[in-house]
Amino acid sequence: MLKTNDADLPVSDETLLIAYARGDDAAARDLVHRLLPMALRVAARMLRDPTEAEDVAQEAMLRLWRAASGWRPGEARVSTWLYRVVSNLCIDRLRKARGANIDSIPEPADPAPGAEARLQGEARAQALQIALGRLPERQRQAVILRHLEGLPNPEIAQIMEISVEAVESLTARGKRALAAELVGQRAELGYAT
């Protein structure tokens, strides 16, 4: 899976960000290659609208460019910072949309019944996306970061600015709600029961 980890890479995200601030275009390209997919993944899973997810990913990256010159080395991991920015932008949009008119939020298409095997994975992912969309925002965020992004609980706690125990509680409640909704669809979606 795609995951940026400073320690596993020959050049850290932070080094690239500092190089970008000094005028290195190649560093910007590397950062986009590493971080934009993550920003888009999280935004797409938090929101229901792919266009909005792209806007959020772009906005988060823009904030990163603007933060580059004042970046304080060693204070926070770039990826952690970006996860937090993307999550907060998504929650802001969800709250505004809820306040405005929830009916205007486009529903994703239902998984097509009897889809071909190669489409079945997408249908399952879509079913999960619909179920995630019904979770409260913070539970959704915690489940996405833990189980789809594969982040450890301490990093999620940093991103969400809560305790590790609160992260565990949010993911546990989120998963119970997801299981209650999705387990009944396992056979329909082609999973062995």
**Does position 54 bind other proteins by CB under 8 A?**
yes
Tell me whether residue 6 or residue 54 sits nearer to other proteins (CB atom): 54
CA dist., res. 185 & res. 74, Å (int): 46
Shortest Cβ 121–other proteins spacing (Å) = 5
Shortest Cβ 116–other proteins spacing (Å) = 14
CA dist., res. 124 & res. 186, Å (int): 9
**Does position 175 bind other proteins by CB under 8 A?**
yes
Query: Of 27-35, 74-82, 100-108, 160-168, which segment contacts other proteins by CB under 8 A?
Result: 27-35
**Does position 85 bind other proteins by CB under 8 A?**
no
Positive or negative: CA dihedral 11, 16, 17, 19: positive
**Does position 128 bind other proteins by CB under 8 A?**
yes
20 and 31 Cβ atoms separated by less than 8 Å: yes
Q: At what angle do helices 117-133 and 164-182 cross, to 10 degrees?
A: 120
Six-digit token string for 103: 């009916």
Single out the residue of 125, 162, 164, 166 in contact with other proteins (rule: CB under 8 A).
125
Shortest Cβ 101–other proteins spacing (Å) = 25
